[in-house]
Chains A and B, each alone.
Chain A
Amino acid sequence: MLLRGAFVELALPLALFALLFVASSNSTNFYFPSLAKVLERFDALWLGQRFVGDVLPSLGRLILGYLIACLAGIAIGVPIGMFGPLRRAAEPVLEFFRAIPPPALIPVLVMLAGFGDTMKVAVIVTGSIWPILLNTVEGVRSVDHVLDETCRTYQIKGMSRMWHFVLPGASPQIVVGMRIGLSIGIILMVISEMFAATNGLGAAIIVFQRSFEIPEMWSGVLMLGLFGFVLSVAFRLFERRTLRWYYGMRDLERRS
């Protein structure tokens, strides 16, 4: 049974990989070298020095920016979600700011913060915060009415109410926002590095491209793909743990 599951999961990817490998093996195209060559470059570059020199700084900036975006997004989103008048006043303004494509703000941040780490972290924050904030507002708004009355009758108020009722109740929606925020964060991490190529994964890729080191460039792209994939798996593990109760509840509903 397990073997069958594994087969289904791996069949297409392996087939595509094999196809790509074979199709490109005799490639003399400068721009699209053989997969074998790319893998060889990957092994040489990314599993060693480059990892520390480029991947880790990228990861560090991403995590810092993402955490700030999460904390700020939730901290701002909760009061907005809870107080009707505040929400009505803030909503149009927020809608406008979140409609600005985050890359458009990069030159503004370059002007303010230069080309270094601060700018890159700031770019990640300004992009990732929106889905987190807006989903927090939505999640806090739509907490259960009966549960709210329960809190009132049992004298659960203030910070207690926030911690035991509002936040857990809104958490499924908040996590949706966090997932989107993470994807956006990764994209902005790369864009900011391609734009201001000091160090990092994005910087390395664009530098390779400019100096026409093509197999190296593709190996970097591969690394980036793995980077994104690993982070999304990590996030899913986090999601499964924090929302264990929610998934349990939904699975039960689905089965009945």
Chain B
Amino acid sequence: MAGNAVVSVQHLNKVYQSGTRRVEAIGDLTFDVEAGDFTCIVGPSGAGKTTLLKCLSGLLAPTSGAILVNGHAVAGPPAEMAVVFQEYGRSLFPWKTVRENIELPLREKNIARAERRRLVDDALAAVALAGAGDSYPWQLSGGMQQRVAIARAVAYQPKVMVLDEPFAAVDAQTRADLEDLMLRLWSELDLTVIFVTHDIDEAVYLGHRVLVLSSSPTRILDDVLVDIPAPRSQATTRIEPRFAELRTRIYRGVQEAKSAARATSEPIKG
């Protein structure tokens, strides 16, 4: 399994300790993500999805266990990873234009100006915001702001793109458009994507593999291969029988995780 793994999570464990309170957010997580995968992660609220994401992206140090990106252990935010946050409004610099926002990480990478310009233009075109370069983020709608954040991640040319419930805060119509955008980017740019979401439908629609997390202490409840025929589209994929089967399986898993949390009994493997 570790052959082509871009991201390797090994026995990840995270415990929050404050005074006498001890919360084991993540119990034991082990999984690999291979190059070119689109892996979705779902779980009930409070399942440690955010904690997992923060550990993955190097923003939080695990209590024990290791996270390897491209074979190197993660000790801080890895340079080969780009993150798209849920609060898109607060992750874009309001004093910079859209273009400047996308360009900033590239300047840090010491990329020449002409090349930077090309990358920014390409990224804006890829997210269909070619005309918005000179606007300020707060002048754009929520969906457009999230697209800017995605463009920034794309222009960065990361090995892995990690998204933290990126479409949770937009309306359903915009969400459908953004989901299709992600699929298109993923296939055109051959990205490796880790996509955290609470929306099971979205996870099955987008992912080629869905990891179902249990409640705290978080473990992997289920590892589902989404074998729905390509190409995917909002109109047809969601009414495929296989879609419904997978969706139901995952839904049941999440429900059991929730009731297991309530009963604090052993999680059930599906």
A interface with B by C-beta (< 8 Å): 144-147, 149-150, 152-156, 160, 164-165, 168-169, 171, 245-246, 248-249, 252
The residues of A that contact B31 with a CB separation of less than 8 Å are none
A253: nearest chain-B partner, CB-CB: B138
Q: Which of A155, A160, A165 contacts B93 (CB 8 A)?
A: A165
Number of interface residues of B (CB under 8 A): 27
Mark each residue of chain B from 119 to 160: 1 if its CB lies under 8 Å from any CB of chain A, else 0. 000000000000000001011000000000000100010000
What residue in chain A is nearest B88 (Cβ atoms)? A146
CB-CB nearest in chain A for B81: A153
Contact A248 B108 (CB under 8 A): no
| Chain A residue nearest in CB terms to B105 | A154
Please state if A156 and B105 are interface contacts (CB–CB under 8 Å).
yes
B93, A146: Cβ atoms closer than 8 Å:
no
B105 touches A155 (CB 8 A): yes
Given contacts A153-B77, A168-B93, 18 further A-B contacts (CB under 8 A): A146-B90, A146-B91, A150-B83, A150-B91, A154-B77, A154-B104, A154-B156, A155-B77, A156-B104, A160-B107, A160-B108, A164-B96, A171-B95, A245-B95, A248-B136, A249-B136, A252-B138, A252-B139
User: Between A and B, how many residue pairs show CB distances below 8 Å?
Assistant: 66
- Please tell me if B65 contacts chain A, counting CB pairs below 8 Å: no
Known: A152-B59, A152-B77, A248-B136. A147 touches B104 (CB 8 A): no
Give A172's nearest chain B residue, CB to CB: B95
List the B side residues contacting A160 at CB < 8 Å: 107-108
- Alpha-carbon distance A245/B96, docked complex (angstroms): 8
Is residue B186 within 8 Å, beta carbon to beta carbon, of the partner chain?
no
B82 A245 Cβ-Cβ under 8 A: no
| Interface residue ranges of B77-120 to A (CB < 8 Å) | 77, 79, 81-83, 85, 87, 90-91, 93-96, 104-105, 107-109
Interface of A is mostly: helix
Alpha-carbon distance A114/B261, docked complex (angstroms): 76
| Leading 6 A-B pairs by shortest Cβ distance | A154-B105, A146-B90, A153-B83, A245-B95, A168-B95, A249-B138
Pairs across A and B, CB under 8 Å, 15 listed: A146-B85, A147-B91, A149-B59, A149-B83, A149-B85, A150-B85, A153-B57, A153-B77, A164-B93, A164-B104, A168-B93, A245-B95, A245-B136, A249-B94, A252-B138
Determine the distance from Cα of A145 to Cα of B104 in the docked complex, in whole angstroms.
18
Residue of B59, B83, B107, B108 most packed against chain A (CB within 10 A): B108
> Secondary structure at chain B's binding surface: helix, strand, loop or mixed?
loop
Q: Please state if B85 and A154 are interface contacts (CB–CB under 8 Å).
A: no
| Minimum CB–CB distance for B185 against chain A, Å | 18
- With a cutoff of 8 Å between Cβ atoms, the chain B residues found around residue A144 in the complex are 90
Closest B residue, CB atoms, query A144: B90
Complex-state Cα separation, A246 to B138, whole angstroms = 10
B59 contacts A153, CB within 8 Å? Answer: yes
CB atoms of B79 and A147 under 8 A apart: no
Report which residue of A150, A153, A155, A171 has the largest number of chain B beta carbons within 10 angstroms of its beta carbon.
A153
Asked whether A152 and B138 contact (CB < 8 A) given A147-B91, A164-B93, the answer is: no
Taking CB as reference atom, which chain A residue is nearest B109?
Answer: A155
Question: In the assembled complex, which residues on chain A have CB atoms less than 8 Å from the CB atom of B138?
Answer: 245, 248-249, 252
Residue among A147, A149, A168 with the highest chain B CB neighbour number at 10 A: A149
B94–A146 CB distance below 8 A: no
Q: Which of A155, A156, A246 contacts B95 (CB 8 A)?
A: A246
**Interface residue? B71 (CB, 8 A):** no
**What residues of chain B lie closer than 8 Å to A171, measured between beta carbons?**
95
The reply to whether A155 and B94 contact each other, CB–CB distance below 8 Å, is no
Give the docked Cα–Cα distance between A226 and B134 (Å). Answer: 39
Q: Which residues of B contact A145 (CB under 8 A)?
A: 90
- Cα distance A66–B254 in the bound complex, in angstroms: 62
Residues on B with beta carbons closer than 8 Å to the beta carbon of A252: 138-139
Q: Shortest distance in angstroms between A108's beta carbon and chain B's nearest beta carbon?
A: 40
The answer, yes or no, to whether B270 is at the interface (CB within 8 Å) is no
Kindly state the separation between the CA atoms of A145 and B59 in the bound complex, as whole angstroms. Answer: 12
A150 to B153, CA, bound (A): 11
CB distance from B168 to the nearest CB of A (A): 14
Contact call A147/B105, Cβ cutoff below 8 A: no
| Residue in chain A with minimal CB distance to B137 | A249
Q: Which of B82, B87, B108, B136 is within 8 Å of A146, CB to CB?
A: B87
Question: What A residues does B104 contact at CB under 8 A?
Answer: 154, 156, 164
